[in-house]
């Protein structure tokens, strides 16, 4: 695996590969890798071409400076995992390489409704930071395909909007959320949890399963209350519990037969904020019915 720390060197290498007819699949990460990230690498490998990963903990997308400082950094382990998975290239920039003129203060993207709900509401400025770094990474790598994880559902929609704004022709490939055996969504933030907290964090998954099994027969208020009770029983404090249209993220109080929806939860386990979601297809029938 080749490792590049400067975009100019990365681009020179990728241009030579492109001239030889290789396509580029790109997996952007903030490191602290787990099997969920590796599943994206494997998806890119299956599609052929050159697989490029990046590791960069982006300061502009953190609302809380302490959250940025405490974000897990496990670079040696990450490199080992990427090599083992067959990743071809790792882009490992520092802040100056991606932000040579300093952190942007006024760079804004018109994300519309997507920035007003869910994480856009509870983490103001977060998605602007995501767009700032993803746009720079895309300009450096220039991939044909961009691989993202479904766990960051709203972020996937934001990045899709970003590519539309910037005129990128890259195809977005969204890969399923990988879970532990107990249902907990794999996340780099899980590294910050104690063993007891990890057990309690499964309350998010249990709440999502409840929403999935009861969504057709209850109002949004009842669903949110009962899901909230499940979270409380597991010492989780929610930022939000929402049901939304899977295509637009329009928040829904009732679900009609024509709606394919997604249930989304963000909740704190101690000081660690966790997110998860579950798509509920049109033809879903609750177990036992």
CB-CB contact of 103 with 34 (8 Å)? no
Q: Which residues are catalytic?
A: 37
Give the residue from 240, 228, 231, 275 showing the smallest Cα distance to 121. 240
Say how far apart CA 37 and CA 150 lie, in whole Å.
11
Rounded to whole angstroms, what are the CA distances from 120 to 86, 115, 129, 276?
35, 4, 11, 15
Rounded to whole angstroms, what are the CA distances from 109 to 27, 87, 207, 282?
22, 31, 33, 32
> Strand 261-269 vs strand 272-280: parallel, antiparallel, or unpaired?
antiparallel
CB-CB contact of 82 with 1 (8 Å)? yes
Cα torsion 108, 113, 116, 120 to 10°: value is -60
Q: Order the strands of the 237-245 sheet from edge to edge.
A: 237-245, 261-269, 272-280
């Amino acid at each position: 695996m080749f490792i590049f720390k400067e975009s100019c060197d990365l681009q020179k290498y990728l241009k030579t590969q492109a001239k030889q007819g290789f396509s580029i699949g790109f997996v952007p990460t903030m490191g602290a890798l787990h099997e969920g990230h590796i599943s994206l690498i494997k998806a890119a490998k299956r599609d052929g071409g050159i697989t490029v990963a990046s590791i960069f903990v982006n300061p502009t997308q953190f609302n809380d400076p302490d959250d940025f400082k405490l974000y897990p950094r496990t670079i040696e382990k990450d490199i080992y995992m990427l090599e083992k998975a067959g990743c071809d290239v790792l882009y490992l920039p520092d802040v100056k390489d991606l932000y040579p003129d300093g952190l942007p203060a006024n760079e804004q993207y018109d994300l519309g409704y997507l920035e007003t709900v869910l994480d856009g509401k509870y983490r103001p400025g977060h998605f602007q930071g995501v767009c700032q770094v993803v746009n720079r990474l895309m300009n450096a790598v220039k991939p044909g395909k961009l691989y993202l994880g479904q766990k960051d559902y709203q972020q996937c929609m934001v990045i899709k909007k970003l590519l539309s704004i910037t005129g990128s022709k890259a195809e977005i490939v969204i890969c399923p959320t990988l879970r532990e055996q107990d249902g907990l969504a794999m996340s780099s933030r899980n590294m910050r949890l104690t063993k007891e907290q990890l057990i309690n964090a499964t309350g998010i998954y249990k709440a999502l399963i409840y929403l999935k099994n009861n969504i057709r027969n209850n109002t949004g208020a009842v669903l949110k209350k009962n899901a909230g009770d499940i979270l409380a029983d597991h010492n989780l404090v929610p930022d939000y519990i929402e049901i939304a249209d899977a295509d637009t993220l329009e928040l829904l109080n009732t679900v009609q037969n024509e709606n394919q929806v997604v249930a989304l939860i963000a909740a704190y386990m101690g000081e660690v904020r966790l997110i998860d979601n579950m798509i509920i297809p049109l033809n879903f029938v609750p177990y036992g019915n």
